[in-house]
């Protein structure tokens, strides 16, 4: 999935390279256990991602990393804590380069899918 993201970003028109802010939203509803999802956030190569984005967009001032969640039954605190435990990410947050947010999917009009009966 990450290689697909890089391919898409590399096809942006040249005027896109003046972007100053990027928002990335990851799903907290990935497969696996809650503990597995938290571990995945912690071990993701965040510093590599930030470096590549800064290289691709030289005028980039802020990268917002959001974790999408459903308001009705998900606690965002563990996800933010996992992101802050990821190597180097907290330091980038303190510098203001990276902003960490929990973003309710409803913000984007995405409601929880109905479970199959």
pLDDT in 10s for each residue of the chain, 117 residues: 567 777 777 777 766 778 889 888 877 665 678 888 888 889 888 999 899 888 888 889 999 998 887 777 777 788 899 999 999 999 999 999 999 988 887 776 655 554 443
Query: Tell me, what's the pLDDT at 29?
Result: 63
Query: Tell me, what's the pLDDT at 75?
Result: 77
The span from the CA of 100 to the CA of 80, in Å, is 7
The runs of H, that is alpha helices, within 22-112 are 34-43, 46-56, 77-85, 89-95
Query: Tell me, what's the pLDDT at 99?
Result: 94
Domain residue spans of the chain = 19-106
Taking Cα atoms as reference points, which of 44, 104, 40, 48 lies closest to residue 74? 104
Query: Tell me, what's the pLDDT at 117?
Result: 38
Eight-class DSSP state of 18: G
Query: Tell me, what's the pLDDT at 8?
Result: 78
């Amino acid at each position: 999935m990450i290689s697909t993201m890089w391919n898409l970003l590399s096809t942006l028109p040249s005027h896109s390279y003046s972007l100053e802010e990027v928002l990335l939203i990851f799903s907290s509803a990935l497969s696996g256990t809650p503990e597995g999802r938290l571990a995945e956030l912690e071990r993701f190569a965040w510093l590599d991602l930030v470096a590549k984005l800064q290289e691709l967009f030289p005028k980039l001032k802020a990268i917002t990393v959001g974790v999408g969640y459903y308001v009705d039954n998900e606690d965002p605190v563990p996800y933010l804590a996992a992101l802050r435990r990821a190597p180097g990410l907290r330091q980038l947050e303190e510098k203001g380069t990276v902003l960490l947010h929990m973003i309710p999917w409803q913000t984007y009009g995405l409601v929880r899918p109905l479970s199959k009966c």
